[in-house]
Amino acid sequence: MSAVVSPIRKPLITGNKTYHQITEDLISPTEKTPTKAWIIGFIIAVAVATYGIFCIIWTIWVGIGSWNLNRTINWSWDITNFVWWIGIGHAGTLISAILLLFRQKWRTGVNRAAEAMTIFAVICAGLFPIIHMGRVWLAFFIMPYPNTRGPLWPNFNSPLLWDVFAISTYFTVSLLFWYTGLVPDFATVRDRAKGLRRKIYNTLSFGWTGSAKHWQRWESLSLILAGIATPLVLSVHTIVSFDFATSVIPGWHTTIFPPYFVAGAIFSGFAMVLTLMIITRKLLKLEDYITIEHIESMNKVILLTGTIVGVAYLTELFISWYSGYVYEQFAFFNRALGPYWWSYFGMMFCNVVSPQFFWKKSWRRNVTLTFFLSIVVNIGMWFERFVIIATTLARDYIPSSWSLYSPSWVEIGIYVGTMGIFFTLYLIFVRVAPVVAVAEIKHILKTGGNQYVGENAKSHTHHTNEH
Amino acid sequence: MSQYKMTASTRNVLFGAIGLGLVCMVLTWFGDDGNHSRFWSNFLHNSLFFTMIAAMGLFFNAAGITAYAGWYTTFKRLWEAYSMFIGIGLIFLVILGLGNYFGWHHLYHWANKADVETDTILKGKSSFLNNNWYLFGTIIFGGLWAFLAYRMRQLSLTEDNHGDSSFKYHKAQRVYAAATLPVIGFTSAAMLWLWLMSIDAHWYSTLFAWYSTVSAFVAMIAITILMIIFLKFNGYLSVVNSNHLHDLGKYLFAFSIFWTYLWFSQFMLIWYANIGEETIYFKERYNNYPALFFINIGLNFLVPFFALMRNDVKRKIGSLVFVSVLMLFGHWLDYFLMIKPGVLITAQHAAHGHEAATEGAAHGVEHASNFVAGFTMPGLLELGTFIGFLGLFAYFSLWILSKAPLVPKQDPYLEESIHHHVI
């Protein structure tokens, strides 16, 4: 990488940090006793998660009949939530793999938390299809292995089965990527720890010594995993979109779905990263590492992906008219002006209109506004999936089977419960691991620290890039 | 050497290419069917292909400026030069737009008033698929692209002479760059529906605009690699080194795979759902153009995928030239396959309509399953026309390049780009 830094680049680490201070700032949150805010948050998260688990058990005990699905609307909140969570997971992989390939140094401030978020989001997502099977104890039927059930194999032509492979691969690679990054940082935690804690972190860091050989292997592994993860960013949500697009249902079957789902997923993922990081940077006092520049960059990604999604919405809408295919035309007429019109307008407003605020520089750099809009975007992306799934199903080919849907308390409980699970896992994560990648931050100090670049730098050009 | 000067031999070669193209076009015209379908479809094919390459040059430069990209500054003048070709391409497309009014060509089925009256589907689309939208859409949206390209280049040139450490010209470019992204993002889709997708007037695909855009993008990267290597061989652009080529090679690799992804998404979903209104597009190509159908996906995916996978290949001039030439030609073929089958059907239809009046006008386009020169496979005349347009594009780009220093001065990223180092 170039050691010469353009004079118009802004520093990515502020506060004249030394290598030691970086270690102090980023490792110490795992060493202190939890703050009151953390304890309260954790209790709430666990309580909500418990309620969600209760609702899941209720579903399994009573059956899918405890949900308000019916013959017409046989997918609704369950699959909406599934796609929503999967989408949220996308930012982690994008930041760790694609932004790495694009040499975007600001990724180092947020990649660790985003990758953790990916894993937790995929866990939440994976729950829904499994519960939806009804007889969860037969879930292993989806695994294609030479079986004792006679010639009974899953349907390999079904995108639902492709999902099983796509998501489990995605989860595995994301986990490996995240953990690979954690190994040197766990070693840093270990070096400062004593007693049992030291033993635990030593095991977690696989006895990392920081030798040149370790670093060299670590870098090779990271590059290979980035290479594998990059097509995964595209493949996972592409295959999720196939769940709909391979059908012949107007409003579901459209060729733009694969790339548009991917863009939407990155969009919602970045919104969730922003929601989490704005709280985390405040509570853990990480403003020097997750700076306004980071927030601004992420807001630009939100603006970009939100607008791509907007192009896709308008394309779909236009082509439905252009196709001259009455069922297609009706599907979109129904979305915009049918009984669920509010969800279509909610989607359009939250996903396409609200990010446009970020054209203005001072608003991109406004933390309060960003926090608010990041939540708006996540609501919008939930609406998008609801529009696609429930609104489309509610009006099928036969008007006599038209129906409406509202969720039962069990469905709401499970959805809210997954948020509890998500935040429980995230809160545990911030206690046991550095939220910002220590080694990677140190790696960019000489090209991103404010004593080296930007207004307060001692000189503007020709730093040597020593590590 | 910081100022490019076209040598007489370069000029002669490029004029020779343009001359060859003109000769081929004239020959095509005289050996053509009654409606000159082969001539006009070749004209549309090449005009559109190179206009889209120019637009992608603008788009990528704008994206780079917006994303604080510092690696490509040493050769950014190339993309600025390509983007100026939008103006030339638009002249050609306006000729095609005027052709719709005056019946010069029968490329678009929807332009045939009599057929639209009796065709429910085409009638339903006629508020978009009509002569006015085609011509004024081209002029207004295309004009907007040309304007943005012109402004961005002007600011970049002003920066050379008047730029200082406040980088105010760069900041002004940022505004235009940010505006360019949504302008091209939204309008290119609409224009590609008109220019390209509406050739198969009944057919529709929501992904089509992105697919054809990415095809042009890959071709643009290929031309960029070839142009840099040409300039380096002539002693220019010494600051552009194998690190920059490596990154361009990565773009060629990555976006070839992205193109394949979009190709697959479009094809697979249409194949899987098996809805007649949609499958007609691929059925026509699969049944009557099987060789091109497989060459397209094979060439544009397998070649870059296997050839460019290794790191060292992306730093070798010979291999890069080889793959870039193939990719430029491969995506030209992709556009060929998007355009020709639909044009042929419309031509056959028009010819049969004329048959009652002028016997024999339909020679050569009687049966779709038969070999039709210039349609089933690109013939020598198509290749000659392609070389002509390529010569024009190269001549024009080099002419623009000769008007300003090849390596920009005062660009805030110049030092970063000069010291660019991969791995």
Considering only CB atoms, B415 lies closest to which of A102, A316, A461, namely A461
Whether chain B has a CB inside 8 Å of the CB on A133: the answer is no
Nearest to A6 among B193, B266, B413 (CB): B413
How high is the pLDDT of residue B197?
95
Interface of A with B in 251-270 (CB under 8 A): 253-259
**Residue type at A384?**
E
Q: Is residue A1 part of a domain?
A: no
Q: Does the beta-carbon distance from B275 to A253 stay under 8 Å?
A: yes
Q: What is the pLDDT of residue A449?
A: 86
Which of the 8 DSSP states describes residue A149? S
Q: Is residue A6 situated within a structural domain?
A: no
Q: Which of B330, B354, B342, B335 is nearest to B280 (CA)?
A: B342
| Residues in CB range of A364: below 8 A, 6 or more apart | A295, A296, A299, A300, A303, A358, A370
Spatial distance between the Cα atoms of B162 and A439, rounded to a whole number of angstroms: 42
Provide Rg for chain B, Cα atoms. 22
Q: Is A155 left (phi over 0), alpha (psi -120 to 50) or beta?
A: beta
Residue of B nearest to A245 (CA): B269
| Confidence at residue B369, expressed as pLDDT on a 0 to 100 scale | 54
Indicate which of B193, B204, B423 best probes the interface with A, i.e. most A CBs within 10 Å of its own CB: B204
Burial letters for B211-227: b for 16+ Cβ neighbours within 10 Å, e otherwise?
A: bbbbbbbbbbbbbbbbb
Number of A–B residue contacts, CB under 8 Å? 105
Confirm or reject contact between A445 and chain B (CB < 8 A).
Answer: no
Per-residue pLDDT of chain A (467 residues; tens, 9 = 90+): 447 888 888 888 988 888 999 998 999 888 888 989 999 999 999 999 999 999 999 999 999 999 999 989 999 999 999 999 999 988 888 887 888 888 888 888 888 999 999 999 999 999 999 999 888 998 888 888 888 877 888 889 999 999 999 999 999 999 999 999 999 999 999 999 999 999 999 999 999 999 999 999 998 898 888 888 888 888 999 999 999 999 999 999 999 999 999 999 999 999 999 999 999 999 888 999 999 999 999 999 999 999 999 999 999 999 999 998 899 999 999 999 999 999 999 999 999 999 999 999 999 999 999 999 999 999 999 999 999 999 999 998 888 999 999 999 999 999 999 999 999 999 999 999 999 999 989 988 888 888 888 777 765 444 444 44
| Separation between Cα atoms, residue A246 and residue A262, nearest integer Å | 16
- Closest Cα to residue A97, out of A266, A307, A324? A266
Residues in Cβ contact with B58 at an 8 Å cutoff, skipping those fewer than 6 apart: B79, B82, B83, B86, B145, B148, B149, B152, B180, B184
CA distances (Å), origin B99, targets A94, B35, B347: 47, 12, 15
**Which of A2, A8, A324 is facing B419, going by the closest CB pair?**
A2
The CA distance from A226 to the nearest CA of chain B, in Å, is 14
Q: Is residue A189 part of a domain?
A: yes
C-alpha–C-alpha distance, residues A228 and A177, integer Å: 10
Q: Do B389 and B54 contact (CB within 8 A), yes or no?
A: no
Task: State the Cα–Cα distance between residues B318 and B265, nearest whole angstrom.
Answer: 33
Domain boundaries, chain B: 8-418
Enter the tokens of residue B326.
């193939």
What does the longest C-alpha to C-alpha distance in chain A come to? 75
pLDDT of the residue at B353: 63
A317-338 burial string, b = 16+ CB within 10 Å, else e? bbbbbbbbbeebbbbbebbeeb
Question: What's the pLDDT score for residue B244?
Answer: 93
CA dist., res. B52 & res. B60, Å (int)? 12
Main-chain phi, psi angles of B240, to 5 degrees? -85, 120
A256 and B70: CB-CB below 8 Å?
Answer: no
Contacts of A136 (CB under 8 A, 6+ apart): A60, A130
Q: Is residue A257 part of a domain?
A: yes
Smallest CA–CA separation between B30 and chain A, in Å? Answer: 37
- Partnered with residue B3 across adjacent β-strands are B405
Report the pLDDT value the prediction gives residue B170, as an integer from 0 to 100.
Answer: 92
Determine the structural domain holding residue A111 and report its residue range. 36-135+157-450
Q: What's the number of domains chain A is made of?
A: 1
Contact A111, A289 (CB under 8 A): no
Residues of chain A found within 8 Å of residue B174, distances taken between Cβ atoms: none
A152 inside domain? no
Read off the DSSP letter of residue A102. T
Judging contacts by C-beta atoms under 8 Å, the chain B residues touching residue A255 are: 205-208, 265-266, 269-270
Token duo for residue B131 = 């002569």
For residues A109 and A10, give the distance between their C-alpha atoms in angstroms, rounded to a whole number: 14
* Of residues A255, A312, A322, nearest to B128 (C-beta): A322
User: Distance (Å, rounded) from C-alpha A20 to C-alpha A207?
Assistant: 21
CB neighbour list of residue A368: distance below 8 Å, 6 or more residues apart: none
One-letter identity of residue B251: Y
Contact B269 A316 (CB under 8 A): no
Residues making up chain B, counted from first to last: 423
Low-confidence stretches of chain B (pLDDT beneath 70): 1, 353-369, 423
Tell me the whole-structure pTM to 2 decimals: 0.93
d(CA B263, CA B290): 16
Count the alpha carbons within 13 Å of B397 in the hemisphere toward its beta carbon.
32
**Taking CB atoms and an 8 Å cutoff, what residues of chain A touch B250?**
101
Residue B416's closest chain A neighbor by CA? A4
Residue A14 lies in a domain: no
